[in-house]
Amino acid sequence: MLAVGRYVLAPWLEPGALHFEVETLRSRNRLCLRAWGDPTPADALACVSALIAALSKLRAGFDFLSDVSGLSSLPDECMPELGRLQSFLVARAPASRA
């Protein structure tokens, strides 16, 4: 198995919750996210925290693959966590070449 780190939060029997999988493929310098369900702000915090922890294990210039097609909706209250993830991604991006 290529995965070095894998975080799974999936309360399988709990309806109305966010389910997600985060996987790091260090040999490919890749992060994979699959998320489905109905996120709450607390769920978004847990997911983004897992993503940031996983991203910390990858080199700059990583690939980020995500499948969020199974999300039913994303409440406005989750946006601050997405902003936190975006800031982290921008900070980890390699410097552009001029």
Between these two residues, 72 and 8, which has the higher pLDDT value?
Answer: 72
Which of the four pLDDT bands, split at 50, 70 and 90, describes residue 1? very low
Q: E strands of the chain, at which residues?
A: 5-9, 18-25, 30-37, 63-71
Predicted TM-score (pTM) of the model is 0.78
Q: What is the pLDDT of residue 95?
A: 59
Beta bridge partners of 32: 23, 65
Q: Which of 94, 11, 83, 10 is nearest to 52 (CA)?
A: 83
